[in-house]
Amino acid sequence: MNDSTFNSSYDYACQLDRQDRLASFRDEFYMKEGIIYFDGNSLGLLSKRAEKSLLTLLNSWKQFGIDGWMKGEYPWYELSEHLGAKTAPLIGAAPEEVIVTGSTTANLHQMTAAFYEPKGKKVKILADELTFPSDIYALQSQLKLKGYDPRTHLLQVKSRDGRMIEEDDVIKGMTDEVALIVLPSVLYRSGQILDMKRVTAAAHKRGIVIGFDLCHSIGAIDHKLNEWDVDFAVWCSYKYLNSGPGGVGGLYVNKKHFGRTPGLAGWFGSRKDKQFDMEHTWTPAEHAGAYQMGTPHILSAAPLLGSLEIFEEAGVENLRKKSLDMTRYMMDLISYELKGMGFVFGNPLEDGRRGGHIYLEHNEAARICKALKKNGVIPDFRAPNGIRLAPAALYNTYDEIWRAVHILKRIMEEGQYKQFENKRETIA
């Protein structure tokens, strides 16, 4: 950024909002007056359409009782497949390669149980040291179930700076002992996007199966999983997809793996015409639906119906462009207004490597987050010293970015953060 050319005025922020072609989507969401919400990368806000679709399925229960499985606007029996088809364009997949089901961790257990096949020298799993802890817990658990010690058989790519993972280091870790690789598409702290195309090609060149956790990328960036030949992926829907707290997860299985037996079988993975035969010989579905286990959580999945309509109308490419523009503007404004106040960007500065949020580091981060909340700005703290700020392309504005940065400036100048303890709350 060139200080002499950057326009830091409030009028310019308003001008950017007037030029925003996606601005009308803000009206779709319930925004609390006096609150600037920058935590959509943890929990997205409720949209009116998500509320409507939830009420629609609630009403189908009320109206039809058990017949809701086959009646109503959205019969429950194939709701997971219907939602999978609506999700597929967001990740560059065919409809039959996606199923909406379970949770991120449950789906990762399922994928690992199916795709981790230790043979000969190939007995280890490769992950990274910066990934979300739940993924590591799942991989450790799966190794133990196969009789291996996670301390020796779970390899974690080291970070050079504690913020990011270099693709060169990931590829270097692809030894002839690795049977499976599981990586995040976007690192949850720093917001770094991994080059999924490059690392997938490198893994396949070495005969290694590779999958990704898309929790911090789905709905924020565009993907081409099928084109990149990714083997599998898992994700949640309550962040950028705005499906609500604990909203249903999803998974992708590349069609080249159709016919592979899921590691964890359950009756909802059955072929639909066979499921209610109640036989003790399982006939799995011939697509990603085979990886379902238990009965779908209908009321948990319902808000996603309305939310995905919005994504279809807005277009994920358009959302990605606006997201990059907003994070770039926020970084420039922070650099201009908060100079000398101890803030350091922990996120990638290059657009091509940055996900949907920025990551500010400061020694007083926990206290600063509490002060921001008291002043009506909702951030996200990540230990030990990180402040995540996610201007969501569907509902945040440049005006909010401008005001939030100036609120943060006032907090620092007045020392407001000093009244708080520098430790996280129970939920950070």
Give the residue numbers of the binding site for pyridoxal 5'-phosphate. Answer: 104-105, 132-135, 213, 216, 238, 267, 295
What radius of gyration, in Å, describes the C-alpha atoms of the chain? 22
Q: Which residues pair with 184 in a beta bridge?
A: 213
The neighbour count for residue 270, using CB atoms within 10 Å, is 20
* Dihedral Cα 126, 130, 134, 138, nearest 10 deg: 10
The neighbour count for residue 8, using CB atoms within 10 Å, is 15
Residues making up the binding site? 104-105, 132-135, 213, 216, 238, 267, 295
- Which residue in the block uniquely carries the two structure tokens 């490198």? 202
Q: What are phi and psi of 377, to 5 degrees?
A: -115, 125
Which DSSP string corresponds to 98-145? EEE-S-HHHHHHHHHHHH---BTTB-EEEEETTS-HHHHHHHHHHHHH
CA–CA distance from 337 to each of 65, 346, 409 (Å)? 58, 18, 7
- 421: three-class secondary structure by DSSP: coil
Which DSSP string corresponds to 156-223? EEPPSSSS---HHHHHHT--TTEEEEEEESB-TTT-BBP-HHHHHHHHHHTT-EEEEE-TTTBTTB--
- 149: three-class secondary structure by DSSP: coil
* CA pair distance 167, 153, nearest whole angstrom: 21
Indicate the burial class of 227 (C-beta count within 10 angstroms; 0-12, 13-18, 19 or more).
exposed
Q: Apex CA 8: angle with CA 6 and CA 10, to 5°? A: 145
- Shortest CA distance to 84 belongs to which of 305, 260, 316? 305
Enter the DSSP assignment of 44: P
First and final C-alpha spacing in the chain: 31
Give the helix, strand, coil percentages of the chain, each rounded to 5.
Answer: 45, 15, 40
Number of H helices and E strands in the chain, helices first, is 13, 13
Q: Let me know how long the chain is.
A: 428
Token pair, residue 57, equals: 């399925």
Residue 91 in contact with residue 218, Cβ under 8 Å?
A: yes
